[in-house]
Amino acid sequence: MKSLVKGINSNMESLTFPQDFIWGAATAAYQIEGAFDEGGRGLSIWDTFAHTPGKVFEGHTGDTACDSYHRYPEDIRFMKELGISSYRFSISWPRIFPTGTGPVNQEGLDYYHRFVDELIANGIVPYCTLYHWDLPQALQEMGGWKNRATIAAFVHYAEFMFREFGAKIKHWMTFNEPWCISFLSNYEGQHAPGFTDLQLAVTVAHHVLVAHGKTVQSFRKLLPDGEIGYVPNTDWAEPYSERAEDREACRRKRAYVNEWFLQPVLKGSYPDFMIDWYRTKGAELPILPGDLEVISQPIDFLGVNYYSGGVGRFKAGAGLFDCEMIEMGYVKTDIGWNIYPDGFYRVLHWIKQEYGNIFGYSMRFGLIHVDFNTFQRTPKDSFYWYKKWIGRGERND
C-alpha cells in the first residue's frame, strides 16, 4: 500500500491521495443484518449475550438491527451514490453453519451470493471478513475459543467460504479485532460471551491467532491469486512524564492491545515483558509446539483500526497494568471517546518502525443514520463530507 504521508499537510483543503487509492466503507454482520432467526441461521454468542438482561444498553439486540438482510439493495445504492469502490463486510458464521460445523445452510449461502453479486454489479469490490465476533452459540457451549477444537471448526468454515466465493471475492480478512474477541469479551466482560477471567482471555487470544495462521495456510493452497490479512484494533497511551514508571505503565497499556496481537503475526513471538506481567497475574500463555510458526504465516496486508487514545501515568492498582489514564481536556466523540488523531499518527509510525510495514446501539458509527423503528436511511453530514473527498478529483501520482 502506498504511503499517504507525502500527501498530507496541515491544510486539509490541499490533501491529495494516490491515483490508485481505494475508497471504501465497512460493516459487521451482527451489527446490521438483523433477521437473526430467518433463513436457517443459527444462534451466535451475540444473540445470547444481547438477550441476557443487563448486558447491553437498554436491552438492544441485533434481532432486526438495520434490517440489511432484507434491505441490502437499498444499502448498496447508497454505497454507489457515496462513490466508494470497495466494501468490507463480514459473514455471519452461524448463517452458513448454524451449529458451527455440520450441514451447510443453503439459504444463508444463497443470501451471500445475492449480496456479493449485487456489489459487483454496482462496481463495488467486495472485501470479506470471515469473523467479526459472532461465534456460533453451539460452539460456545463446547468451550468456544477456549477449546482448540474451535480452531479446526473455523478453518473448516473458512475453507468452505474460499471454495464457494473464491471466484467472486479476492480480498479476505480472517479476524476483525482479536483484542475484542479475547480480552474485551473474556476479561473485561463487555462483549459476548461476557466473562471476566484473565487466563481465559489469554487462552482465547492465542487460539484465535492460531486459527488465523492455519486459515492463511489453507488460503495459500486454495486461492493463490487472492489476498488475505487480518484487522487488529490499535490504541495509544502516551506517557504523562518521562519517569520510567509512567513510560513502563503506558508501554504495558499499549502492548495489551497492540503488541500482543501484532508481534506474533509479524515477528513470530510474543513480547516477553507481557508474558512475564501476565504470569504475575496468574495467567500463562498456552503455546503448543509449532503454534508460533503457524501464527506467523506471511500476510498480504494489515488492517489497522484506530479509535482513540490518551495520556497515562503509573498508579499502583490502576487496572490490570497499573496505568491511570488522565483527563487532559480532549474534545470527545458523541460516545465519549477522546478525539486523539495524534495517536493514530503514532500508531502508524510505531508499526512502520517496529515491523517495517504496516456497546449496544448507544454507540453510533457509520455514514448513514438508520431509524430503527422505520429503517429509513438518512445520510449524515459525514456521508457528504466523504463523498466530497472521493469526488474531488485531486490525485497525486
Least confident window among 71-85, 183-197, 253-267, 350-364: 350-364
Mean pLDDT of the region 26-35: 98
- CA torsion angle for 30, 31, 32, 33 (degrees, to 10)? 10
Q: What is the distance between the alpha carbons of residues 80 and 160, in angstroms, rounded to a whole number?
A: 29
pLDDT bin (cut points 50, 70, 90) of residue 74 is very high
Residue 365 confidence (pLDDT) = 74
Cβ–Cβ < 8 Å for 347, 310: no
Question: 14-53 burial, b for 16+ CB within 10 Å, e for fewer?
Answer: eebbeeeeeeebbbbbbbbbbbbeebbbbbbbbbbbbeee
Cβ pair 140, 193 in contact under 8 A:
yes
Domain with CATH 3.20.20.80 in the chain: 22-231+366-397
Query: What is the pLDDT at residue 395?
Result: 47
Q: What is the mean pLDDT of residues 198-219?
A: 98
Homologous superfamily of domain range 22-231+366-397: Glycosidases (3.20.20.80)
**Separation of alpha carbons 91 and 30, rounded Å:** 9
- Comparing 12 with 162, the larger pLDDT belongs to 162
pTM for the model: 0.89
Alpha carbons 97 and 228: distance in angstroms, whole number: 22
pLDDT number for residue 374: 86
* Mean pLDDT computed over every residue of the chain: 93
